[in-house]
Amino acid sequence: MSEVKKIALHGLTLEPNSEKYLSQIIDRLNKEGVEIWVTTLFKSRNGQIEDCKNVIDEITTDFHAVFSLGGDGTFLETLLWVGKTEVPILGINMGRLGFLASIAKEYIKESLYLFFKGNFEVESRALISLETNLDLFNGKTYALNECAILRKDTSAMIMVKCYINNQYLNTYWADGLMVSTPTGSTGYSLSCGGPLMMPDSKDFVITPVSPHNLNVRPLIVSDDSELRFEIESRNRSFLISLDSRSETIESDVNIVVKKAPFRAKLIKIEGINFPDTIRNKLGWGFDKRN
């Protein structure tokens, strides 16, 4: 990355005890002579940044980075602002440690020092793209974690026929089915019995949600695969979700899931890595007997 000169800030409503951390960020950016911008939504949520005059509705390619201030959910929202521009995102967690927003607020000063020293790398993460014959999600039909097909209520399971590269794979009777990226393998897919994957894996995982047949297990497929789904539901409607967003659609909708033509770029500060994060989040390597 060239010299950082233009940075955007995005986040949710910050708690009063987080205002000092926002001040630390702004002070550091000003010290570095950075042109600071805030998203319209972030400014409307936080009165303490009313003095920031540079407000944007969309991120453009001339930004050097976007700082996401919040948790992993905020990071996913930030990604929707960034979209196809592929502007790198730095996740600063204002709560507990996250997988995406990996910088704890207590380490903001140290992390920004390393950032402006150039002690970071930009990780490229695959995104999932959803194609249907409907206009869904305001045209932002991509996800960093997963695309899920889910039953709408508790009355009946749904039947999902899955085809991989136009070859019939399986019919799933379940509460739902998801296609997860390596990034998303640490979230919803994991809670449904899916495997953990390293972020640079070039695969997707198909994970059933509460399947009726217990011999049906998650399946890892190449991320170059094109997955097509046909749905049947007693109520003729179901939910389709992209990360934290969902919409109701009818069972006659054509659904294709494949790798998006653009990627998410995550800024990782030196000293913060996936193995460390996964150990801390999942409690690996700790003796729980005491």
Catalytically active residues are 72
Q: Does residue 82 form part of some domain? A: yes
109 and 64 within one domain: yes
187 and 87 within one domain: no
- Give me the pLDDT at residue 150, please: 94
The domain of 198 spans 128-259
150 and 253 within one domain: yes
Cα-based angle 236, 208, 258 (whole degrees, multiple of 5): 85
Q: Does residue 289 form part of some domain? A: no
- Give me the pLDDT at residue 17, please: 80
pTM as predicted: 0.90
CATH number at residue 234: 2.60.200.30
121 and 132 within one domain: no
54 and 176 within one domain: no
- Give me the pLDDT at residue 283, please: 74
Q: Does residue 21 form part of some domain? A: yes
Q: Does residue 290 form part of some domain? A: no
- Give me the pLDDT at residue 78, please: 95
Q: pLDDT tens digit string along 148-199?
A: 999 987 767 899 999 999 999 999 999 999 999 999 999 999 999 999 999 9
175 and 230 within one domain: yes
Contact 80, 243 (CB under 8 A): no
276 and 191 within one domain: no
276 and 213 within one domain: no
Q: Which parts of the chain sit beneath pLDDT 70?
A: 1-4, 47-48, 50-51, 96-97, 155, 287-290
31 and 102 within one domain: yes
Q: Does residue 101 form part of some domain? A: yes
118 and 57 within one domain: yes
58 and 16 within one domain: yes
250 and 145 within one domain: yes
Q: Does residue 288 form part of some domain? A: no
- Give me the pLDDT at residue 258, please: 98
- Give me the pLDDT at residue 214, please: 84
Q: Does residue 26 form part of some domain? A: yes
- The number of folded domains in the chain is 2
CATH number at residue 60: 3.40.50.10330
Q: Does residue 213 form part of some domain? A: yes
